[in-house]
Amino acid sequence: MSLVTKNFEVHRPLVLTKSINTFFITLSYHLLLFFSIVYFGKIANISRSEVLFCYTLYSVFIILYRSLIFFSLDYFRKIGYNHREVMIIGDKNISDRLINSFSNHPEYGYDLLGFVSESQVLAMAMQELLDLILLKRPDEVFLCYKSINTEFIEHLILFGEENSIKIKVVSDLFLENNYAKLVDYHRLPVIQLSSTPEISFKIRAFKRSFDLLFSSVVMVSGFPVFVMLYLVTKMTSKGPAFYKQERIGKNEKPFYIYKFRSMHVNAEHFGPQLSKDNDPRITKWGRVMRKTRLDELPQFWNVLKGDMSIVGPRPERQHFIEQIVERTPSYKKLLHLKPGITSIGQVHYGYAENVDQMCIRTKYDLLYLQNISFNSDIDIIFKTVKVMVQGKGK
């Protein structure tokens, strides 16, 4: 029986980033537990410099150790070790998509031994197919069928277990900008589809814990700064120091966002308007606060209340959301997240002056949605601080 054979070198994914991300999450939990014990246990005779030195040294050694392992594995895979040889059986269209996926993602680490089409399988006896697989001795067999015979699958599973060959079933579903997760309901596999990646409870719980801790530290340690900003805002222009405005939050729930007022009172007397460069509605002191993002500081109160997160897509008003959705329907995916004080879009693009710019900023936030992690949040926070220090806020 003829086989369609291709020979290309690919590699399974090296999850160094994920591994380091997991380490930092674990380290953060450990630090939180450690300082909780120190605080509630009223332990005073601990050197802060020694604790900082130990944790820093430990982190450096762990990162170097894991990096060495992963890069060593990567090197060995590049010279031909630690590969998996696979066979693909079934529908040609599905198989072509799978082969194309292997070709486009060399990090998967698969060498293709051959392809047996559905018509070839139907023309041979079951034992003949099993003998063919034994002849090739693949590590894994991918079944690409739109309609799979249960008896056929059971035979292959038993055969795979007896000969240490993994059997994998490939769905004929084609997902573009969508996400799938396999759920097992007592041996009944169910594919759960979603237009947005599901954020695990662990990530959500950690993100909320970090939000509460970070916001509390900022609100307490930064109290003198809050008082100074309050007084200067009051003295430099008429009106209240604080400004609140309705925004749309997670699951399209409206809430009031708080800021230090950077515009003259009744700046939107003629309806919702976005600010522009040299906008006459912005006060002189307000311009300074917007450049350094200091006007956003009261939003840490929104974070403590649970309306917002430290990092997340910037919340918008319903008036502008309707216009954004008309041009970029995928914006609705962002409404599944808590909005943030800062975001990757805000860092790279700043305040938007029109709906077109808001749509461009949305693309950055959609990338964040696909790659939510502790590392990405910390990176965005550092970039935000850099913008504040350099006064480059738009």
DSSP for 168-227?
A: EEE-----SS-EEEEEESSS-EEEEEESSPPPPHHHHHHHHHHHHHHHHHHHHHTHHHHH
Q: Is 70 exceeded by the pLDDT of residue 79?
A: no
Residue 6 forms part of a structural domain: no
359 and 219 within one domain: yes
Q: Which two tokens stand for residue 254?
A: 């409206």
Classify residue 78: in a domain, yes or no. yes
Residue 379, judged by CB atoms within 10 A of its CB (0-12, 13-18, 19+), counts as middle
Do 240 and 340 belong to one domain? Answer: yes
Last residue of a domain, one of 157, 174, 191: 174
Query: In 3D, which of 305, 386, 279 has the Cα closest to residue 342?
Result: 386
Q: What's the mean pLDDT in 248-265?
A: 94
Asked if 299 and 359 sit in the same domain, the reply is yes
- Residues 345-357: tens digit of each pLDDT: 888 877 788 888 8
Task: Read off the pTM.
Answer: 0.60
How does 47-57 read in b/e, with b if 16+ C-beta sit within 10 Å? eeeeeeeeeee
CATH number at residue 165: 3.40.50.10700
Where is the domain boundary, 139, 174, 209?
A: 174
Instruction: Kindly state whether residue 192 falls inside one of the protein's structural domains.
Output: no
58 in any annotated domain: yes
Number of domains present in the structure of the chain? 2
230 and 166 within one domain:
no
Tens of pLDDT, residues 146-202: 766 778 888 888 898 889 899 988 876 655 555 666 676 766 667 676 666 677 777
How high is the pLDDT of residue 394?
Answer: 60
Mean pLDDT value of segment 218-226: 91
In a domain, 69, yes or no: yes
111 shares a domain with 25 = yes
Identify the domain boundary among 155, 174, 193: 174
Expressed as residue numbers, the domain containing 126 is 16-174
Asked if residue 323 is part of any domain, the answer here is yes
Q: Are residues 258 and 381 in the same domain?
A: yes
> Residue 7: inside a domain, yes or no?
no
> Are 139 and 220 in a shared domain?
no
185 phi/psi in degrees, rounded to 5 = -105, 85
pLDDT of residue 56: 80
For residues 288 and 355, membership in a common domain is answered with yes
pLDDT digits (tens, 9 = 90+) for 338-388: 999 999 888 887 778 888 888 888 888 888 887 787 778 888 888 888 888
Residue 180 lies in a domain: no
Taking the C-alpha atoms of residue 289 and residue 275, their distance in angstroms, rounded to an integer, is 14
If asked whether residues 29 and 160 sit together in one domain, one would say yes
Which structure tokens are listed for 155? Answer: 């035979």
Q: Let me know whether 258 and 309 are in one domain.
A: yes
Same domain, 99 and 151: yes
36 and 148 together in one domain? yes
Q: Both tokens of residue 318?
A: 């319903």
